[in-house]
Structure 1
Amino acid sequence: MRAIAFFAVMSVATFITNHSQAQDAAAGEKVFAKCKACHVADEDKNKIGPSLNGVIGRTAGTHPGFKYSKPMTEAGASGVKWDDATLTEYLKDPKAKIKGTKMAFAGLKKDEDLANVIAYLKQFSK
């Protein structure tokens, strides 16, 4: 009986956790509004920051035509690639992930916002 109760609780907990981490690109577009002053995702155009078009899978510090900080290019040279996990860590606290980055943004604090903005970026990274 205890085993059944345990598995029932674990199933509910897993469902709630997975549901709360679901990615919503439409919600991510709203979160991305915070990024638009410096970045573009729907076209390959650099602004104050590099284009985020095609960012998923890209090596850090490598978008053509953008002058990155030395720490960002070093991060790329050391193997940092932008995937879900790396972007989540970076967007939560950019200066902690890559010390010396030029990005002035303080970061996104809500896990839901992080997941959603990454879902939004994925639309432009195919």
Structure 2
Amino acid sequence: MDLLSRGAALALAGLGLGAAPVAAQDIANGELQFGRQCVACHVVRDEDGRVLAGRNARTGPNLHGLEGRKLGSVEGFRYGDAITALGERGVEWNEERFVAYVMDPTAWLRAELDDRRARGKMAYRVRDAKDAADIYAYLTGLAPAESAEAQQ
């Protein structure tokens, strides 16, 4: 593991993002934070085309059925090379990955790929680990488990 990867791992561990997911998610706060921090770029649209959260934003991918979905796999969305490479390796979204990614997309991608030149297209960062975990809880609550499995 190179110095950058070790530094990212230590930073994530310091945020409580090491081995265990952030505890005590607050779905109501997740909805509030999604509206404040994510809605400008993301939408949550189900398989029937109903918008469950957000508007018609297209800067970022649809976040419906996120849990258990391979990274970089929303049909028709143009992802960056780094996140696509992780998806091709079979890496799937879970709470720990989501929280680490949204807090610093480029640093997380560099650490995961062990490539200091890897870059994320998402420039925005969620500053608080609790808010990030709450957003994840909110998003996963919008899609029943069978919905996420169907999208894999």
Q: Return the alpha-carbon distance in structure 2 between the equivalents of residues 69 and 112 of structure 1.
A: 26
Q: Which amino acid is the alignment partner of residue 103 of structure 1?
A: M
Q: Does 1:87 align with 2:129?
A: no
1:40-93 C-alpha deviation (Å, 9 max, x unpaired): 125467611100011111100001111111111101112221101111111121
The percentage of counterpart residues that share the same residue type is 37
Give the alignment's Cα RMSD to 1 decimal: 1.9
Higher strand share: 2
Shift of 1:111: 2.2
Distance in 2 (CA, whole Å) between partners of 1:41 and 1:23 is: 19
Aligned residues between the structures: 106
The ranges of structure 1 where at least 4 consecutive aligned residues each deviate by more than 3 angstroms after the TM superposition are: 42-46
Q: How does 1:32-47 map to 2 (within 5 A)?
A: 32-33=34-35, 34-43=37-46, 47=58
Counterpart CA distance in 1 for 2:66 and 2:57 is: 12
Who wins on radius of gyration, i.e. which is larger?
1
CA contact (8 A) 2:98 2:136 kept: yes
Q: Partner amino acid for 1:53?
A: H
| Separation (CA, whole Å) in 2 of partners of 1:62 and 1:46 | 18
Q: For structure 1, list consecutive stretches of 5 or more residues without a partner in the other structure.
A: 1-19
Q: Distance in 1 between matches of 2:71 and 2:57?
A: 15
1:73 to 81, 84, 109: 84
Q: Is 1:21 aligned to 2:30, yes or no?
A: no
Q: What TM-score do the two structures reach when normalised by structure 2?
A: 0.63
Provide the residue aligned with 2:138 in structure 1.
120
The alignment's TM-score, normalised by the length of structure 1, stands at 0.75
